[in-house]
Amino acid sequence: MKIKDILDSREKTFSFEFFPPKNYSSILELGINIGQLMKLSPSYISVTYGAGGSTQETSFSMIDYINNKIGLVTMAHYTCVNATKEKVLRDIDFFHEKNIENLILLRGDPPKGETKFNNGGGDFQHASDLIDFVAKQGDFCIAAAGYPEAHPESETFDKDIEYLKYKVAKGVDFVVTQLFFDNSYYFDFVERARNAGINIPIVPGIMPITNFKQIKKFTQMCGAKIPDLLVQKLEAHHDDFKKTYDIGVDFAIDQCRELLDKGAPGLHFYTLNKSRATVDIFASIK
Ligand code: FAD
C-alpha cells in the first residue's frame, strides 16, 4: 500500500522509524520493541539506511521482513551515498521484487567529523537528483526530508524552501520533517512551504526525549533547538532517569496534541529502536 493513499484518505498517520541493529542483543531488543509498537497498528514503519550505505544489507533485510513477514506497510530510506545509477537500478529491482512501494530519498550526511558531504563516487549530489532518477523508474510513493529549522548547511530559510520546492517538483508525494521541539518552527515551515506552492502533506518528525545527554548530541548534529524552559527542567534532573523520562514524555504528549489539533497530517516517531515512550505518548493522545 502506498503511504500517499493513506494520507489522501485524510486519516492521520502514525509511523515509527527504526534503524538496523548492530549486534545480537540489539536485534533482540529491536524485536521486542517492534512487537510492542505493532500493537498500536502503525500506518507504516520506516527503516533507516546507514551513513555510507554501511547498514544497507541489514536495512534491506529488515524492510523485507517487516513488509513481507510481519505484513506492515513499510518505507525504505535510501541515500545518494555510493549510489551509482547501476546500483540504484539494482536496488530498485530489489524493491520491486519485495513489493516495497514507499521510499524516502535523501542525500545523506557528511562523513563523521567532516562538514562537507561526499557522495562516495555516486552519481547523485542532492536528494533532488536521486528523486528525479528514481521517480522515472517505477511507480513508487516517494517521500523527502524537510527542515522546520532549515537544514544546517542552508544559507537561508528561503533558499532551503526553494530547494525543497525543486525536490518536490521532481516527484515527491509527501515530506517528513527533521525532529524539532518547538512547534512554531513546524507551523512556520508549513506556512512558508504553502506560500511557495508546496501543497503535499508535511508530516512532523517527533523524537521523545528519554536521555538528555543523547538528545543534546542529536540536536547538535541536526541543528534542532531545545526550548530553554525544557532544558532547565531536564538539567535540574539530569541524573534522574525516571524524572527525565517523565519530563520528556509529558513534553512530547503536549507537542503531539498541539500538532494534531492544528492540522498536522500525522506523526512520525524517531523511536531509536525503543518503544516505551512512544507507547506512553500514544496512550495519551489517541
Ligand atoms: P538535500 O535535499 O540534498 O539538501 C541538502 C542541502 O543542500 C540543504 O542545505 C539544501 O538546502 C541544499 N540543496 C538541496 N538541493 C540543492 C541544489 N540543487 N543545489 C544546491 N543546494 C541544494 N540520513 C541517512 O544517511 N540515512 C537515513 O536513513 C536518513 N533518514 C532521514 C530521514 C529524515 C526524515 C530526515 C529529516 C533526515 C534523514 N537523514 C538520513 C539525514 C539526511 O541525509 C541529512 O539531513 C542530509 O544532510 C540532507 O539530506 P536531504 O535529503 O535533505 O538533502
pLDDT tens digit at each of 286 positions of the chain: 999 999 999 889 999 999 999 899 999 999 999 999 999 999 999 999 986 556 899 999 999 999 999 999 999 999 999 999 999 999 999 999 999 999 999 999 887 777 889 999 999 999 999 999 999 998 999 999 999 999 999 999 999 999 999 999 999 999 999 999 999 999 999 999 999 999 999 999 999 999 999 999 999 889 999 999 999 999 999 899 999 999 999 999 999 999 999 999 999 999 999 999 999 999 999 8
Q: What pLDDT does residue 114 have?
A: 78
Q: What pLDDT does residue 115 have?
A: 80
The strand pairing partners of 269, in sequence order, are 16, 206
Phi, psi at residue 94, to the nearest 5°? Answer: -60, -45
* Three cell numbers, residue 211: 536521555
Q: Which of 177, 180, 57, 77 is nearest to 130 (CA)?
A: 77
Q: What pLDDT does residue 138 have?
A: 83
Residue 17 annotated among the catalytic residues of the structure: yes
Atom in ligand 1 nearest the alpha carbon of residue 51: 25
* Three cell numbers, residue 188: 512556520
Q: What pLDDT does residue 140 have?
A: 98
Distance 178 CA to ligand 1 centre (A): 10
Q: What pLDDT does residue 10 have?
A: 83
- 14 close to 282: Cβ distance less than 8 angstroms: yes
Rg (CA), the chain: 18
> What CATH number does the domain located at 3-285 have?
3.20.20.220
Distance 174 CA to ligand 1 centre (A): 15
Cα three-residue angle 45-147-157, rounded to 5 degrees: 165
Name the closest-CA residue to atom 40, ligand 1.
Answer: 108
CB within 6 Å of ligand 1 — which residues? 48-49, 51, 77, 79, 104, 106-109, 126-128, 145, 151, 153-154, 160, 163, 167, 176, 178, 205
- 75 close to 44: Cβ distance less than 8 angstroms: yes
Q: What pLDDT does residue 111 have?
A: 75
pTM of the full structure: 0.97
Question: What DSSP string runs through the chain?
Answer: --HHHHHHTTPPEEEEEE----SHHHHHHHHHHHHHHHTT--SEEEE---GGGTTHHHHHHHHHIIIIII---EEEEEESTT--HHHHHHHHHHHHHTT--EEEEE--PPPTT-SS---TT-S-SSHHHHHHHHHTTS--EEEEEE-TT--TT-S-HHHHHHHHHHHHHTT--EEEEEE-S-HHHHHHHHHHHHHTT--S-EEEEE---S-HHHHHHHHHHH-PPPPHHHHHHHHHTTT-HHHHHHHHHHHHHHHHHHHHHTT-SEEEEE-TT--HHHHHHHHHH-
Domain ranges (residues) in the chain: 3-285
